[in-house]
Structure 1
């Protein structure tokens, strides 16, 4: 019987965000389950679109495989992972391995863009410790997010890596499942040769949508590699992590080093050729609202508040798009999910039909952020237990905390806001439907998301617009004050070259 240990430790770190991820953030349930240990790793992720669930399902279908579940946890994207949380969770994982007895391989459900207070490359450091614990021969295979900032350390310490191939991430479980045959071949003695290269430019996340060109063709090219032990994946990178190795990259694995190198060279060439094809444009909030109001069809226009996406570490409480909806006199508009525990609590205390006044949102302390001052009628209330229904997270339960629908009391506009008490990306229509709003029947639907919303909202949308309201997840890469990014990498397709590490060295006199 082949014994495979499985574990997960996921975080996408926005180094420009204010809040940090401590152990509590990994322990609690949010859009995903809370910290799981032992058999709960399998039981409580069963059927979910999660890599660890996909790997476990594939292993159950295989002959002669015994899974040894250790632990799994994830926290909402935010600022740095605290040292205390990283050390504690890494320690739990290693302690679990020591108690597991004989194992033949290890599968890990990781993100690939974790930055801790002390380690720019959180996954690389974790893999280094695991390799030191398990020795150089035992196979370790990990699945990573499409937005991973893959590093030489990750590639070096892992036997192999797979990555999601869709954004929105509809194939998370499938990416985990793809790890099983790779791991089994390595256990049987056929560890692959590796190749890895980084691309010369960054890509903003709203341009990484794999349903549009050029990403659609880039990922379609991966289908050519899948036989004779050859596999390859593209990471598009997470631009809000100011680290040396941020950005797109390619990994490839093959029985022969020359084959792996040739595959990587071919894919990097395709990424280089596609540089000018990425659509990185954004509208101002006012422009987006005016375009949306001009729609005369029977389907809504969806406006994405891409720079206030909590799924990328933003606060989800900025009010730039809300202010534009009101100022431009939007009709039949809803916005969600705005994170404001204080106003949600006041709405619950006041009750249905009552009017409350005060500052809504804008309380994160980010520069240039301010609350939206107004009067709001309480139209609906919820405990925030929200079961997702869309393809990406369907079946999972979001914990939004006390939630309310607040209608802006303003004669110029007809605008409602879904206000929650926990940050949660508006990537599923259930954020609205669970509290009585059918987004398909609105004229304008504003979502705090960058691209994940597309899986559930694009099918009902007459048009999808990208708005550049201020927020904690900057998408104009040339304006981001990178200090640690390697010099020479272009800040966006065809953008200026980074001087980040040069500036860092000049200001500190040292190399990190």
Structure 2
């Protein structure tokens, strides 16, 4: 029987974010499933929207014997601590060592992990697994669309395959694609590799694949796949990791080197041709709220605002108060915001009980420039233990645990307060504390794009606002110091070296 070792270790690292990822963050997972080992992986990873789930289903259909080691993930944040990385990577590598004779290995990774001691967290773990299995055993890896792919990752693996949707509704599909490619490798097929890094950073809000230009780019990418080019990926990258290989990339696998090169070069040319389109309007908090209120007066569905710079899916702590202040200051009605992560406020609400009025210093505890706690009195409308199912297309039925949570009301603005962070990408993240999202005039989601999967169908319009946060909507606003020379720090922006010199001279 074909024996395949499987493992997963996912983290998206914002090196400018305020909080690092400790080991415990991977144990409970945040918005991801909790850490699972051995046979438990085959149960907890089943029928959910993660790469490992898709791979397991495809592998079982092929009658492969799976050797599960460890799967874990943590919410995006600053660097993964050395302790956490070495403990998790060590357990995965040790599991592969103990697996005995293997026919292949599958790794479910993110592709944008930076640790306290490695810029390229994925390249390091792929290389460690390669050292164990040797050069002839196939090793395939599924990656996030936001992967900052490095030469080491390409060199040490037989195939890297990235998601094609943002919101990521195809994570399980990508695991299935990895299994299908591994099946080709097991039949002794081998493919040439082509890898290209693009010349400009792409802000995450404009990486969305339900809008242009990415919608048509991915359609054309899929059309280029064939028998001679079995898999082709475009990763727009995660533009908040300050190291040389940060940025968009294209990677292709072909029957010949010429096949792989031609496919990769076609996508590179297509993306570069859309450089002007990787931008769009971002509102200030007050302008965004006033615009939403004006449209809401005659709208039949909620106006949805993305609080994009405090996106916990990009390293924010999900506790900045800029959008809440704008809602209250402008007298918004039938408005709701979530999730504000503040364990102390949630605990105070639980102690006071439903119906109580409490004075709080809410949020604003991450030390973000221009942000501060919001001090006011709130009515405790609803309490929850934070456990619920998120059935929307992004979380895909995952069990969520935000810890002690509450719905707090100030005027006619309601705030979802939780104790653990996860970006608001599912309508259930309002409903679990008694807020019906479809009945609101304005919804403010601490997310950049993933919320679109579940909220576009109920939204009158979606707008982006830039309140203070850890993930600037404009990538040029970040204090870059270690990018590769020449990469433009935003579409049509300055090249990195020029930007660094201007900073020094200012």
TM-score range, shorter chain: over 0.9
Q: 1:211 matched to which residue of 2?
A: 210
Tell me which stretches of 4 or more aligned residues in structure 1 moved more than 3 Å: 500-504
Superposed displacement of residue 182, structure 1: 1.4
2:364 is equivalent to residue 366 of structure 1: no
2:476 is equivalent to residue 487 of structure 1: no
Q: 2:245 matched to which residue of 1?
A: 245
Contact 2:368 2:468 in 1 (8 A): no
Residues in 1 aligned to 2:490 and 2:278: alpha-carbon distance in whole angstroms: 9
Contact 1:112 1:149 in 2 (8 A): yes
Q: 2:378 matched to which residue of 1?
A: 376
Alignment partner of 2:376: what SS?
strand
Alignment partner of 2:326: what SS?
helix
Structure 2 counterparts to residues 275-354 of structure 1, below 5 A: 275-295=275-295, 296-354=298-356
TM-score (norm 1): 0.96
Alignment partner of 1:142: what SS?
strand
Contact 1:167 1:451 in 2 (8 A): yes
Residues in 2 aligned to 1:433 and 1:406: alpha-carbon distance in whole angstroms: 13
Q: 1:16 matched to which residue of 2?
A: 16
Contact 1:433 1:439 in 2 (8 A): yes
Q: 1:510 matched to which residue of 2?
A: none
Residues in 2 aligned to 1:369 and 1:262: alpha-carbon distance in whole angstroms: 48
Q: How many residues align?
A: 501
**For each residue in 1:34-61, what CA deviation from the matched residue of structure 2 results, as whole angstroms up to 9, or x when unmatched?**
2111111111111001100000101111
Q: 1:254 matched to which residue of 2?
A: 254
Superposed displacement of residue 181, structure 1: 2.1
Structure 2 counterparts to residues 38-437 of structure 1, below 5 A: 38-62=38-62, 64-230=63-229, 231-295=231-295, 296-409=298-411, 414-437=412-435
Contact 2:167 2:209 in 1 (8 A): yes
Alignment partner of 2:380: what SS?
strand
Residues in 2 aligned to 1:205 and 1:355: alpha-carbon distance in whole angstroms: 39
Contact 1:485 1:501 in 2 (8 A): no
Alignment partner of 1:279: what SS?
coil
Contact 1:485 1:500 in 2 (8 A): no
Residues in 2 aligned to 1:51 and 1:390: alpha-carbon distance in whole angstroms: 17
Residues in 2 aligned to 1:281 and 1:154: alpha-carbon distance in whole angstroms: 35
Q: 1:468 matched to which residue of 2?
A: 466
Does the C-alpha gap of structure 1 residues 96 and 338 become closer, same or farther in structure 2, counting only changes over 3 Å? same
Contact 2:279 2:491 in 1 (8 A): no
2:461 is equivalent to residue 441 of structure 1: no
Does the C-alpha gap of structure 1 residues 8 and 316 become closer, same or farther in structure 2, counting only changes over 3 Å? same
Residues in 1 aligned to 2:409 and 2:342: alpha-carbon distance in whole angstroms: 15
Residues in 1 aligned to 2:501 and 2:8: alpha-carbon distance in whole angstroms: 36
Structure 1 residues without counterparts, runs of 5 or longer: 508-512
Contact 1:484 1:501 in 2 (8 A): no
Residues in 2 aligned to 1:313 and 1:500: alpha-carbon distance in whole angstroms: 27
Alignment partner of 1:239: what SS?
coil
Residues in 2 aligned to 1:280 and 1:124: alpha-carbon distance in whole angstroms: 33
RMSD of aligned Cα (Å)? 1.5
Residues in 2 aligned to 1:162 and 1:345: alpha-carbon distance in whole angstroms: 43
Structure 2 residues without counterparts, runs of 5 or longer: none
Superposed displacement of residue 280, structure 1: 3.1
Q: 2:475 matched to which residue of 1?
A: 477
Superposed displacement of residue 459, structure 1: 0.7
**For each residue in 1:446-504, what CA deviation from the matched residue of structure 2 results, as whole angstroms up to 9, or x when unmatched?**
00000000011111011101000010112211111111111211122112211289769
Q: 1:36 matched to which residue of 2?
A: 36
